């Protein structure tokens, strides 16, 4: 079973637990106070949201190939409530995505591609595929 066929929530949960073991991926001090985008009213309430977002970004890069920060910001964006005025689509916060990508580069999970964004390295792909297999084994 590939990463694409694995249930997303289970894969992200397992990947989150694996990413917690990597010392390069640590939430910065400001991550406890920051919102994930202008369309949100409050910061995330989950204590391990940084690792969940990192796992989700790693999966997105694996599936979509070389991906830039701008496209990831669009993916993690949402609709901003503007009171009486109609809602508008807003992009997610770029600092969070950029910092996570830099940390994953240091860990050797992703690498930069010139003028295309970032792609998953062999180490990152192997980790995701191993987790996908364990999720599959756990479901049967």
pTM above 0.85, yes or no: yes
Q: Is the dihedral of CA 107, 59, 128, 52 positive or negative?
A: positive
| DSSP-derived pairing of the beta strands 85-90 and 117-120 | unpaired
Backbone angles phi, psi at 122, to 5 degrees: -65, -40
- C-alpha 4/C-alpha 39 separation (Å) is 28
Which residue stretches of the chain have pLDDT < 70?
1, 139-140
**Full set of structural domains in the chain with CATH:** 8-139 (1.10.10.10)
pLDDT of residue 81: 92
């Amino acid at each position: 079973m590939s990463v694409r066929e694995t249930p997303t929530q289970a894969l992200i949960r397992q990947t989150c637990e694996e990413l917690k073991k990597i010392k390069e991926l640590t939430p910065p001090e400001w991550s406890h106070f920051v919102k994930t985008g202008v369309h949100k009213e409050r910061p995330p309430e989950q204590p391990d949201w940084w690792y969940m977002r990192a796992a989700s970004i790693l999966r997105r890069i694996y599936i979509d190939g070389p991906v830039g920060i701008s496209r990831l910001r669009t993916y993690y964006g949402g609709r901003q409530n503007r009171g009486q005025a109609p809602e508008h689509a807003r992009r997610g916060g770029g600092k969070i995505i950029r910092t996570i990508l830099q940390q994953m580069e240091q860990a050797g999970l992703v690498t930069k591609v010139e003028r295309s964004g970032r792609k998953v390295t062999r180490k990152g792909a192997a980790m995701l595929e191993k987790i996908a297999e364990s999720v599959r084994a756990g479901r049967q």
